[in-house]
Amino acid sequence: MLAVESLTRTFGGVAAVSDVSFSVRKGHVHAVIGPNGAGKTTLFNLISGVYTPSAGTVKLDGEDIGGHAPDQLARKGMSRTFQNLQVCMNMTALENVMLGAHLRCRSGILGSLLGLTRRADAALREASIAAMDFVGVGAWRDAHATQLSFGVLKRLEIARALQAGPRLLLLDEPAAGLNDSETHEMTALIRRIAEDGVTVLLVEHDMKMVMSISDHIVVMDQGRKLAEGDAAAVRKNPDVIAAYLGAEE
Protein backbone atom coordinates (compact mmCIF):
# COMPACT_ATOMS: atom_id res chain seq x y z
CA MET A 1 0.00 0.00 0.00
CA LEU A 2 2.78 2.38 0.91
CA ALA A 3 6.10 2.30 -0.90
CA VAL A 4 9.06 4.34 0.29
CA GLU A 5 11.96 4.48 -2.13
CA SER A 6 15.39 6.00 -1.50
CA LEU A 7 13.79 8.57 0.70
CA THR A 8 16.16 11.26 1.85
CA ARG A 9 15.75 14.43 3.83
CA THR A 10 18.51 16.81 4.71
CA PHE A 11 18.40 19.79 7.03
CA GLY A 12 21.17 22.16 6.10
CA GLY A 13 23.83 19.55 5.39
CA VAL A 14 22.73 16.98 7.94
CA ALA A 15 20.89 13.99 6.49
CA ALA A 16 18.18 13.13 9.00
CA VAL A 17 16.90 10.42 6.71
CA SER A 18 19.18 8.92 4.09
CA ASP A 19 18.24 6.60 1.26
CA VAL A 20 15.55 4.65 3.11
CA SER A 21 13.40 2.16 1.23
CA PHE A 22 10.71 -0.20 2.41
CA SER A 23 7.11 -1.04 1.75
CA VAL A 24 4.06 -1.42 3.89
CA ARG A 25 1.62 -4.15 2.99
CA LYS A 26 -2.09 -3.63 3.15
CA GLY A 27 -3.79 -4.88 6.26
CA HIS A 28 -0.54 -5.40 8.16
CA VAL A 29 1.00 -3.70 11.16
CA HIS A 30 4.39 -2.21 10.40
CA ALA A 31 6.72 -0.65 12.93
CA VAL A 32 9.69 1.63 12.57
CA ILE A 33 12.12 1.43 15.46
CA GLY A 34 15.57 2.69 16.22
CA PRO A 35 17.58 4.50 18.84
CA ASN A 36 17.02 8.17 19.53
CA GLY A 37 18.10 10.36 16.67
CA ALA A 38 17.71 7.54 14.18
CA GLY A 39 15.39 9.64 12.05
CA LYS A 40 12.13 7.84 12.81
CA THR A 41 10.11 10.97 13.45
CA THR A 42 11.54 12.68 10.37
CA LEU A 43 10.61 9.64 8.33
CA PHE A 44 7.14 9.78 9.77
CA ASN A 45 6.81 13.45 9.00
CA LEU A 46 7.99 12.83 5.45
CA ILE A 47 5.32 10.23 4.91
CA SER A 48 2.56 12.28 6.52
CA GLY A 49 3.24 15.45 4.58
CA VAL A 50 4.79 17.58 7.29
CA TYR A 51 8.13 17.61 5.46
CA THR A 52 8.96 17.50 1.77
CA PRO A 53 11.52 14.89 0.66
CA SER A 54 14.93 16.17 -0.43
CA ALA A 55 15.22 13.08 -2.62
CA GLY A 56 13.42 9.80 -3.20
CA THR A 57 9.71 9.07 -3.33
CA VAL A 58 6.80 8.11 -1.14
CA LYS A 59 4.00 6.35 -2.97
CA LEU A 60 0.56 5.51 -1.70
CA ASP A 61 -0.99 2.78 -3.84
CA GLY A 62 1.30 3.76 -6.66
CA GLU A 63 0.59 7.47 -6.45
CA ASP A 64 3.46 9.79 -5.54
CA ILE A 65 2.50 11.72 -2.44
CA GLY A 66 5.86 13.27 -1.60
CA GLY A 67 5.40 16.81 -0.39
CA HIS A 68 1.63 16.69 -0.42
CA ALA A 69 -0.04 18.71 2.32
CA PRO A 70 -1.51 16.87 5.30
CA ASP A 71 -5.06 17.78 4.39
CA GLN A 72 -4.60 16.38 0.91
CA LEU A 73 -3.27 13.16 2.38
CA ALA A 74 -6.31 12.95 4.60
CA ARG A 75 -8.39 12.97 1.45
CA LYS A 76 -6.38 10.02 0.16
CA GLY A 77 -7.16 7.98 3.24
CA MET A 78 -4.19 8.64 5.49
CA SER A 79 -4.65 9.50 9.16
CA ARG A 80 -2.14 10.12 11.89
CA THR A 81 -1.72 10.74 15.58
CA PHE A 82 0.91 12.82 17.31
CA GLN A 83 3.49 11.97 19.92
CA ASN A 84 3.01 15.32 21.60
CA LEU A 85 -0.75 15.27 21.26
CA GLN A 86 -2.58 17.70 19.03
CA VAL A 87 -5.94 17.73 20.72
CA CYS A 88 -8.27 20.69 20.53
CA MET A 89 -8.47 21.67 24.16
CA ASN A 90 -11.19 24.17 23.42
CA MET A 91 -13.69 21.45 22.56
CA THR A 92 -15.29 18.50 24.28
CA ALA A 93 -13.91 14.99 23.92
CA LEU A 94 -16.79 14.04 21.67
CA GLU A 95 -16.39 17.10 19.45
CA ASN A 96 -12.73 16.23 18.96
CA VAL A 97 -13.70 12.79 17.73
CA MET A 98 -16.46 14.19 15.53
CA LEU A 99 -13.90 16.51 13.97
CA GLY A 100 -12.14 13.43 12.67
CA ALA A 101 -15.03 12.77 10.32
CA HIS A 102 -14.65 16.20 8.73
CA LEU A 103 -14.14 14.96 5.20
CA ARG A 104 -17.26 12.84 5.36
CA CYS A 105 -19.48 15.76 6.38
CA ARG A 106 -21.15 18.58 4.59
CA SER A 107 -18.95 21.34 5.82
CA GLY A 108 -20.12 24.26 3.73
CA ILE A 109 -20.79 27.36 5.77
CA LEU A 110 -24.25 28.04 4.41
CA GLY A 111 -25.58 24.61 5.21
CA SER A 112 -24.15 24.80 8.68
CA LEU A 113 -25.57 28.26 9.34
CA LEU A 114 -29.03 27.23 8.24
CA GLY A 115 -29.02 24.19 10.46
CA LEU A 116 -29.25 21.76 7.58
CA THR A 117 -26.58 19.56 9.09
CA ARG A 118 -28.50 18.79 12.26
CA ARG A 119 -29.67 15.33 11.32
CA ALA A 120 -26.33 14.20 9.95
CA ASP A 121 -24.72 15.55 13.09
CA ALA A 122 -26.94 13.43 15.31
CA ALA A 123 -25.87 10.31 13.40
CA LEU A 124 -22.24 11.41 13.59
CA ARG A 125 -22.58 11.86 17.33
CA GLU A 126 -23.70 8.25 17.71
CA ALA A 127 -20.90 6.99 15.47
CA SER A 128 -18.34 9.00 17.41
CA ILE A 129 -19.56 7.67 20.74
CA ALA A 130 -19.15 4.20 19.27
CA ALA A 131 -15.62 5.09 18.19
CA MET A 132 -14.85 6.30 21.70
CA ASP A 133 -16.14 3.01 23.07
CA PHE A 134 -14.01 1.12 20.59
CA VAL A 135 -10.81 2.76 21.78
CA GLY A 136 -11.84 2.41 25.37
CA VAL A 137 -12.62 6.00 26.38
CA GLY A 138 -16.39 5.74 26.19
CA ALA A 139 -16.68 6.62 29.88
CA TRP A 140 -15.58 10.16 29.07
CA ARG A 141 -18.12 10.81 26.38
CA ASP A 142 -19.53 13.85 28.19
CA ALA A 143 -16.23 15.28 29.29
CA HIS A 144 -14.42 18.36 28.10
CA ALA A 145 -10.94 17.84 26.62
CA THR A 146 -9.35 19.74 29.48
CA GLN A 147 -10.68 17.22 31.97
CA LEU A 148 -8.94 14.24 30.44
CA SER A 149 -5.67 12.62 31.41
CA PHE A 150 -2.76 12.15 29.03
CA GLY A 151 -3.46 8.45 28.49
CA VAL A 152 -7.11 9.10 27.67
CA LEU A 153 -6.20 11.92 25.30
CA LYS A 154 -3.84 9.64 23.43
CA ARG A 155 -6.61 7.19 22.79
CA LEU A 156 -8.99 10.02 21.96
CA GLU A 157 -6.63 11.05 19.18
CA ILE A 158 -6.79 7.53 17.80
CA ALA A 159 -10.59 7.63 17.89
CA ARG A 160 -10.45 10.88 15.97
CA ALA A 161 -8.06 9.42 13.43
CA LEU A 162 -10.30 6.39 12.99
CA GLN A 163 -13.38 8.55 12.38
CA ALA A 164 -11.84 9.59 9.10
CA GLY A 165 -12.18 5.98 7.97
CA PRO A 166 -8.55 5.76 6.93
CA ARG A 167 -6.89 3.07 4.87
CA LEU A 168 -3.54 3.83 6.44
CA LEU A 169 -3.14 4.87 10.06
CA LEU A 170 0.11 6.40 11.21
CA LEU A 171 0.71 6.20 14.97
CA ASP A 172 3.45 8.42 16.32
CA GLU A 173 4.85 6.79 19.47
CA PRO A 174 1.49 5.58 20.80
CA ALA A 175 3.05 4.25 23.99
CA ALA A 176 5.06 7.36 24.84
CA GLY A 177 4.16 8.67 28.26
CA LEU A 178 1.97 5.71 29.16
CA ASN A 179 2.44 3.48 32.17
CA ASP A 180 2.49 -0.32 31.99
CA SER A 181 -1.22 -0.99 32.18
CA GLU A 182 -2.02 1.82 29.73
CA THR A 183 0.57 0.42 27.33
CA HIS A 184 -1.06 -2.97 27.64
CA GLU A 185 -4.44 -1.47 26.70
CA MET A 186 -2.87 0.46 23.82
CA THR A 187 -1.30 -2.71 22.45
CA ALA A 188 -4.68 -4.46 22.56
CA LEU A 189 -6.29 -1.48 20.84
CA ILE A 190 -3.81 -1.45 17.98
CA ARG A 191 -4.41 -5.16 17.53
CA ARG A 192 -8.18 -4.51 17.33
CA ILE A 193 -7.63 -1.77 14.75
CA ALA A 194 -5.52 -4.05 12.59
CA GLU A 195 -8.13 -6.78 12.86
CA ASP A 196 -10.62 -4.32 11.42
CA GLY A 197 -8.55 -4.16 8.25
CA VAL A 198 -6.79 -0.84 8.74
CA THR A 199 -3.13 -0.80 7.73
CA VAL A 200 -1.05 0.53 10.59
CA LEU A 201 2.40 2.09 10.53
CA LEU A 202 3.85 3.01 13.87
CA VAL A 203 6.96 4.59 15.23
CA GLU A 204 7.72 3.31 18.68
CA HIS A 205 10.33 2.82 21.38
CA ASP A 206 8.54 0.25 23.50
CA MET A 207 10.00 -3.09 22.40
CA LYS A 208 7.43 -5.26 24.05
CA MET A 209 4.61 -3.59 22.16
CA VAL A 210 6.48 -3.59 18.88
CA MET A 211 7.46 -7.23 19.09
CA SER A 212 4.01 -8.40 20.04
CA ILE A 213 1.91 -6.68 17.39
CA SER A 214 4.11 -6.01 14.38
CA ASP A 215 3.96 -8.12 11.27
CA HIS A 216 6.98 -6.33 9.89
CA ILE A 217 9.66 -4.14 11.46
CA VAL A 218 12.05 -1.63 9.93
CA VAL A 219 15.04 -0.72 12.07
CA MET A 220 16.69 2.62 11.54
CA ASP A 221 19.96 3.98 12.81
CA GLN A 222 21.49 7.37 12.06
CA GLY A 223 19.10 8.08 9.25
CA ARG A 224 19.61 4.81 7.39
CA LYS A 225 17.71 1.57 7.29
CA LEU A 226 19.68 -0.89 9.32
CA ALA A 227 17.52 -4.00 8.94
CA GLU A 228 14.01 -5.19 8.32
CA GLY A 229 11.97 -8.30 8.75
CA ASP A 230 9.51 -9.89 11.12
CA ALA A 231 9.90 -9.72 14.86
CA ALA A 232 11.87 -12.92 15.18
CA ALA A 233 14.33 -11.99 12.42
CA VAL A 234 14.95 -8.53 13.76
CA ARG A 235 15.49 -9.77 17.28
CA LYS A 236 18.21 -12.11 16.10
CA ASN A 237 19.91 -9.63 13.74
CA PRO A 238 23.42 -8.97 15.12
CA ASP A 239 23.59 -5.45 13.67
CA VAL A 240 20.38 -4.52 15.36
CA ILE A 241 21.47 -5.97 18.63
CA ALA A 242 24.74 -4.13 18.42
CA ALA A 243 23.21 -0.79 17.58
CA TYR A 244 20.22 -0.89 19.75
CA LEU A 245 18.76 -3.72 21.66
CA GLY A 246 21.63 -4.58 23.94
CA ALA A 247 19.91 -6.46 26.75
CA GLU A 248 16.84 -8.41 25.60
CA GLU A 249 13.51 -7.09 26.88
Partner 1 sequence: MRFSRFKALLATAAVLVVLPFVLPNNFMLDIAIRIAFAAVAAIGLNVLMGFAGQISIGHAGFLAIGAYGSAIAATRFGWPPLLAIPAAAALCAVLAWVIAKPILRLKGHSLTMATLGLGLIVNIVLINEVGVTGGPDGMAAPPLEVAGFALVDLRHWYVVAAVVLWLVILLSLNLYDSPCGRALRGLHGAEVAARVVGVDVALFKTRAFVMSAVLASVSGSLTAHYVGFISPQMASFAHSVELATMVVLGGMASTFGAVLGAALLTMLPQLLGGLHGYESILFGLILMLTMMFLPRGIVPTLALKLGRKR
Partner 2 sequence: MNDLAQFLLSGLTTGAVYALAALGFTLIYNASGVINFAQGDFLMLSAMVAATLLAHQVSYGIAIAVGIAVTVLVGVMLYRFAIRPAGEADVVSLIIITIGASIFIQGVVQVVLGKNQQVLPPFTGDTPLHVLGARVLPQALWVLGVAALLVAAVAGFFRYTLTGKAMLAVAANRLAASAVGIPARRILQLSFGLSALLGAVAGVTAAPITTTVYDIGLMLGMKGFVAATLGGLGSGLGAVVGGLVVGVLEALVAGYVSSAYKDAVPIGLIIVILLVMPHGLFGRKSTERV
Q: Where are the beta strands (DSSP E) in the chain?
A: 2-11, 14-24, 29-33, 55-60, 63-64, 78-80, 168-172, 199-203, 216-221, 224-229
Query: x/- string (CB under 8 A) for partner 1, residues 153-172?
Result: ----x--xx-xx--------
Residue 183 binding partner 1, by CB under 8 A: no
Q: Which is nearer to partner 1, 37 or 111 (CB)?
A: 111
User: Side chain identity at 123, as an amino acid letter?
Assistant: A
Partner interacting with residue 192 (select from partner 1, partner 2, none; CB below 5-8 Å by kind)? none
Site for partner 1 in 32-61 (CB under 8 A): 48
Binding mask 69-98 for partner 1 (x = CB under 8 A): xxx--xx---xx-x---xxxxxxx--x--x
Question: From the list partner 1, partner 2, none, which binds 88 (C-beta under 5 to 8 Å, kind-based)?
Answer: partner 1
> Of these partners, partner 1, partner 2, none, which one is at the site of residue 109 (CB under 5 to 8 Å by kind)?
partner 1
Residue pair 17/221 in contact by the 8 Å Cβ criterion: no
Q: What's the longest Cα–Cα distance across the chain?
A: 64
Q: Which does 79 bind (CB under 5 to 8 A by kind): partner 2, partner 1, none?
A: partner 1
Closest CA to 24 of 2, 48, 47, 49: 2
SS3 sequence, 64-124? ECCCCCHHHHHHCCEEECCCCCCCCCCCEHHHHHHHCCHHHCCCCHHHHHCCCCHHHHHHH
Nearest distance in Å: CB 153, partner 2: 16
Burial of 81 per CB tally in 10 Å (0-12, 13-18, 19+) = buried
Task: Determine the size of the site formed for partner 1 (CB under 8 A).
Answer: 46
Nearer to partner 1, 91 or 231 (CB): 91
Q: What is the binding site for partner 1 (CB under 8 A)?
A: 48, 69-71, 74-75, 79-80, 82, 86-92, 95, 98-103, 105-109, 111-115, 117-118, 120-121, 124, 142, 144-145, 157, 160-161, 163-164
